[in-house]
Structure 1
Amino acid sequence: MGLHSCLGAPSADHGQPSHEQAPAPAPVARRRPTLAHPHVDMGPLSSPAIPDGMYFASNFLTGVGMLIIQPATGKVVVVYDPDVEAWFFPKGRKDMGESLTDAALREAYEESGYRVSLMPLPTPTRAPTVPGDSREFPGRRLNTEPIYVSTYFWEKSRHRREPGIYFTFWFVGEIPEDAEHHEDTGMENEKHYITHLLDFDEAASKLDGVNLQVLDVGYQLWQHKVKALSQSVSEAAT
């Protein structure tokens, strides 16, 4: 069962609503060996389940990442690090006392140079709805919850006294057509990053792994929203 099955009709197209439909995202693939665990299938859009457990503060990190879409053009923000020739979405660690959403918006600005707003999407989140929500369908299904959580296991080394797991919560944000790009917004080791606004196909050709999966699924959620809201307006006019 893929994203369309989770959301139901209408199906989503990549690019602007009139663009050709792109293939459904491929199942998540592991990029390197990780801790062994029983294989329990969670569906084509997720990795296998991991065992129940607990992690002490020194054995985990909480991070955030952001797919940024420009709805007016259908383009996405992709950051390039020329030092290591890597393409990626803004991402980083949550500061102490900072909420996940505030951290995501901060990282998006620091690494991309754009002021970003969270994009409401029909994400099939497990979070409960707010009591008293009176919005009509499909608006009541829209939320700004993270679309993915990714994990990264690091081993003990001379730089890390203990092994641990990095949990990253992935959000989707948006910028307006006239968004202003700000220079020199990143940390000292990020100031050489170069920000690009790319169409879907070009972005997909430069990304891989977690970033590519976030692009595939986040973009489809956006297109599903565009089509659903358009149909709702058309039905209301008839």
Structure 2
Amino acid sequence: MAQSTFVQHQFSSEFFVESCGAVLFDLSGTEKKVCLLHYVKYNQWLLAKGRRNHSESRKDAALREVMEETGYRCHLLPVAMPTRTTPPDGPARISDSVRIYPDLTDPFMFTMRYLGDGLGVKLIWWYLAALDEDAESNRLPGEAEFEPSFLPFSEAIERLTYQSDREVVGRAVELVKDCGTKNS
């Protein structure tokens, strides 16, 4: 039996958990801002994310988690981004190479965490999101242990507790800066 030459790891469903999150932007003012969550109990600064419910799309899970944790309603933010996905109307056989498509709302980043002790992995799909137009006036109570704060890009990156979150926000900021303000 042939073996793949690629390094691979396979996990059955009981050994992986899927999470989805989004970097939430406020693009309404002259200074663009990112929403961070202050986890008061541990004095940590984090991004909104959480486990995907069974049968829930990843996009819906990301938006739901942002709303539950921050109280803000938002939508996915379409941006031009490099990706290895194929176009929906493209040829059946297309090279596996990076292309840039406009107005994508696909995940812009993916994190895989090994959980240790044979527990498997946590897969985190990251999206870009922007506040809905009426988000401030229609804000719901978020989860009690989190206090959301909108911070300027550089301050948000500095404030985050974990380096991996800094990398996620850094990439998100690059993509949003490139999209200008047409998506706000």
Indicate the TM-score class for this superposition, using the shorter chain for normalisation.
Answer: 0.7 to 0.9
CA distance in 1, matches of 2:122, 2:115: 8
Higher mean alpha-carbon deviation, 83-92 vs 120-129, is at 120-129
Give the structure 2 partner of residue 214 of structure 1.
168
2:178 paired residue number: 224
Partner of 1:205: 158
Give me the whole-angstrom Cα distance separating, in 1, the residues matched to 2:125 and 2:81: 14
Residues 148 and 140 of structure 1, relative CA distance in 2, 3 Å threshold: closer
Per-residue deviation at 1:140? 5.4
Partner of 2:94: none
Give 1:141 shift: 1.9
Contact 2:19–2:122 (CA under 8 A) maintained in structure 1: yes
- Correspondence for 1:126: 84
CA contact (8 A) 1:109 1:185 kept: yes
Give, as a single letter, the amino acid of the residue that structure 2 aligns with 1:212: R
Counterpart position of 1:75: 33
| Corresponding residue to 1:155 among 116, 126, 133 | 116
The residue identity in structure 1 corresponding to 2:148 is T
TM-aligned CA deviation for residue 178 of structure 1: 4.8
- The number of residues matched between the two structures is 164
Report the secondary structure of 1:96's partner residue.
Answer: coil
List gaps (5 residues or longer) in structure 2: 1-5, 91-99
Q: Which amino acid aligns with 2:53?
A: D
The one-letter code of the counterpart of 2:116 is E
Rg (Cα) greater in structure: 1
Percent identity over the alignment? 26
**TM-score (norm. length: structure 1):** 0.64
2:16 corresponds in structure 1 to: 60
Q: How many Å apart are 1:218 and its aligned residue?
A: 0.8
Deviations 1:87-116 (CA, angstroms, capped at 9, x unpaired): 011011101110100100100100111101
d(CA) in 2 for partners of 1:177, 1:88: 24
Report the residue type matching 2:79 in the other structure.
L
**Deviations 1:127-152 (CA, angstroms, capped at 9, x unpaired):** 222328xxxxxx95220011111011
CA contact (8 A) 1:63 1:94 kept: yes
Task: For residue 123 of structure 1, give the secondary structure of its aligned residue in structure 2.
Answer: strand
Residue 183 (structure 1) shift: 4.0
Partner Cα separation in structure 2 for residue 120 and residue 175 of structure 1: 13
Aligned match of 2:128: 172
Q: Give 1:84's aligned residue.
A: 42
**Contact 1:71/1:176 (<8 A) preserved:** no
Instruction: Indicate conservation of the 8 Å contact 1:70/1:177, yes or no.
Output: no
1:126 deviates by 1.6
Structure 1: which 5+ runs fail to align? 1-49, 133-138, 157-161, 230-238
Whole-angstrom CA distance in 1 between matches of 2:19 and 2:111: 9
1:107 to 50, 53, 65: 65
